[in-house]
Structure 1
């Protein structure tokens, strides 16, 4: 899930928002301002209802962010680096650079999210009771009560033992501890996720047919998301198992074609070296150190009359936003960090930042094909 709007960094972690958040944000504000709040506090000015609804929706997404930040902070304390956090339509996603080293670390990382949501639910409930006891108006009491309920529901839903929910991570940790096999544990959690997802899809359609309420379709949508995500997680686990022990240097394209700092966009687009086979190229300084990544699409987005004056470094993705790796890093650890698109190549750098190679999704696919051809008979996993 790629962020549409970057929000900056919190505790050193990049935070972004996907465009779909605008949809759920608008729905929450509309439901609270037009229905829930007017029912509990009659006769108030519309501006009060809308203001309270906006504040409540902001606090709700702050709660989601706190849930994901808890995962990120505990992950870092357990030696797992975090790329970023993206809030989107169905909650949030913390993208980890690698996996937990043992089941205990997995339990801690997965369990802290629901725990934080539950704690927030309790705090909002206590605040609601406090302001009610002090005789405050009904709007802040109701807003805090709604936030308490939604955070408790978030904690309970995420604790369901089905991937990719936090409960699925907890289930994977328990299966991993029992079997000693991380792949087997992941496949088990993935199966649980698909089963739960299909139950939600069926229940959602039955509810819609019985009541004609769109809540049923929303339930089915959540179920379909769980099925898709759990299936992708299972596939990625198999890929990680296939690539186990393979270093990045074995998959990277060495000595890639580069765009030097200072290269004009007109020359970049006209030079035959940049027009064939590839769609993105590392940008390097005179010392050969990587400074970013430029794609043909970014260069073409600049009006033709400006391309002589604009340089590669003017439109490139800066190195701070590019995924990088060392040549001896495990290739399997790149899988959760790689995303589709020309601008999401992985630059392979040595300890001094010198460019050694580049890795794309096609490089990963080629390596997987080679590994499967070299080992056509994987271990028997019928017990999975």
Structure 2
């Protein structure tokens, strides 16, 4: 999920909002201002209800952010990097780079989110009670009462044992601990998530045909999202298992053909595109540092009459948006970043920031196609450490040999 509006960094974690969050804000404001609040506190002007609805929606988003920040903070303390947090239509997402190293870490990262929501619900309930006991503004009491139950509801829903919900992560951690196999546990949790999603879709359609209206649409939307997310998670788990132990240096194309930002589109077409079977052209400066990335699609988008005058730097994906990696980085950590304007490509740089390689979809496809040629089980006995190094020697019957 891509961020549309950046909110800066909180606790060292980049936070953003996807534009789709405006939909949930509008639904909350409308439902509270013209539904719940007039019933709880009748007789007030319409602007007071709308203002209370806006305040409630903002506070609810703050609670969602706190929920995701709790995941991010615990993940970082457990050695898992966090790319950022994005709030969107159906809640929030803490984007983790890498996987927990043990069932205990997995459980801690997953469980802290619902615990945070329960704590926020308890605090909101306490504030509502204190306001009511001290004669506070009734509308404020209604706002905090709403926040109390919605946070508890959020915690309960997230604890459903179905990935990608937090409860699915808890289930994965428990099964991982019991079975000693993280991949098997993750697949089981993802399948549970897909089944739960189908149940929500069925319930939503049942409500629609029963005439219950918008609630059914909302259930169908949430259920379909869970089905797709759980399916993607299962696929990602299987790919991660296949690519376990493979470094970026093992798959990257070394010494890629590069171009200069000042070169024109017509020149690179004549010099490279028509002479080599290449589709990706990193741009580098005089020191060999990345200045952008041009793909065949970007070159083709330039009208033929403009190609002699259009410089590559003008159409390139800027360096800040190009996924980068180090040669010794696990390939599974890079894959989630290979998106955006780079068209699924990534560049590999050394410690000084100089270009040393390129990773393309063709490189990933080849390593997946040849993965079954690798010998032996890539995981250590007793469970998978998806971000850990390979053992140098594995003991087997009759002696030992180097690990594949």
> If the length of structure 2 is used for normalisation, what is the TM-score?
0.83
- Tell me the distance in 2 between the aligned counterparts of 1:35 and 1:309: 57
1:282 matched to 2:279: no
Once the two structures are TM-superposed, the CA of residue 294 in structure 1 deviates from its matched residue by 5.3
Residue pairs, 1:183-194, within 5 angstroms: 183-194=183-194
Residue pairs, 1:143-292, within 5 angstroms: 143-260=143-260, 263=262, 267-268=264-265, 271-272=268-269, 281-292=281-292
- Tell me the distance in 2 between the aligned counterparts of 1:293 and 1:33: 49
Once the two structures are TM-superposed, the CA of residue 152 in structure 1 deviates from its matched residue by 0.7
- Tell me the distance in 2 between the aligned counterparts of 1:128 and 1:281: 60
* 1:19 partner SS: coil
Task: Identify unmatched segments of 5+ residues in structure 1.
Answer: 380-384
Q: Deviations over 1:174-204 (max 9, x none)?
A: 1111111111111111111111111111122
Query: Structure 1 pair 344/92, CA: closer, same or farther in 2 (3 Å)?
Result: farther
Counterpart position of 2:33: 33
- Tell me the distance in 2 between the aligned counterparts of 1:41 and 1:63: 24
Number of positions where the alignment pairs a residue of Structure 1 with one of Structure 2: 373
Q: Larger deviation: 191-200 or 164-173?
A: 191-200
Is the Cα contact below 8 Å between 2:298 and 2:315 reproduced in 1?
no
Once the two structures are TM-superposed, the CA of residue 254 in structure 1 deviates from its matched residue by 2.2
Counterpart position of 1:83: 83
Query: Structure 1 pair 9/211, CA: closer, same or farther in 2 (3 Å)?
Result: same
Task: Identify unmatched segments of 5+ residues in structure 2.
Answer: 379-404
Is the Cα contact below 8 Å between 2:63 and 2:120 reproduced in 1?
yes
Query: Structure 1 pair 363/185, CA: closer, same or farther in 2 (3 Å)?
Result: same
Is the Cα contact below 8 Å between 1:324 and 1:349 reproduced in 2?
yes
Is the Cα contact below 8 Å between 1:240 and 1:335 reproduced in 2?
no
Q: Deviations over 1:224-256 (max 9, x none)?
A: 111111111111111111111211122222223
Once the two structures are TM-superposed, the CA of residue 270 in structure 1 deviates from its matched residue by 5.4
Query: Structure 1 pair 279/217, CA: closer, same or farther in 2 (3 Å)?
Result: farther
Is the Cα contact below 8 Å between 1:107 and 1:170 reproduced in 2?
yes
- Tell me the distance in 2 between the aligned counterparts of 1:347 and 1:190: 31
* 1:260 partner SS: coil
Once the two structures are TM-superposed, the CA of residue 85 in structure 1 deviates from its matched residue by 1.3
Once the two structures are TM-superposed, the CA of residue 323 in structure 1 deviates from its matched residue by 2.8
Query: Structure 1 pair 365/315, CA: closer, same or farther in 2 (3 Å)?
Result: closer
- Tell me the distance in 2 between the aligned counterparts of 1:259 and 1:113: 47
Once the two structures are TM-superposed, the CA of residue 344 in structure 1 deviates from its matched residue by 5.1
Is the Cα contact below 8 Å between 1:280 and 1:342 reproduced in 2?
no
Q: Deviations over 1:41-77 (max 9, x none)?
A: 2332322222211111111111111111111111111
Is the Cα contact below 8 Å between 1:338 and 1:344 reproduced in 2?
yes
Query: Structure 1 pair 206/29, CA: closer, same or farther in 2 (3 Å)?
Result: same
Is the Cα contact below 8 Å between 1:293 and 1:343 reproduced in 2?
no
1:323 matched to 2:331: no
Q: What RMSD in Å do the two structures reach over aligned CA positions?
A: 2.9
Is the Cα contact below 8 Å between 2:290 and 2:319 reproduced in 1?
no
Is the Cα contact below 8 Å between 1:207 and 1:213 reproduced in 2?
yes
Counterpart position of 1:382: none
Once the two structures are TM-superposed, the CA of residue 278 in structure 1 deviates from its matched residue by 6.3
- Tell me the distance in 2 between the aligned counterparts of 1:121 and 1:209: 34
> If the length of structure 1 is used for normalisation, what is the TM-score?
0.87
Higher radius of gyration, 1 or 2:
2
- Tell me the distance in 1 between the aligned counterparts of 2:302 and 2:3: 20
Counterpart position of 1:119: 119
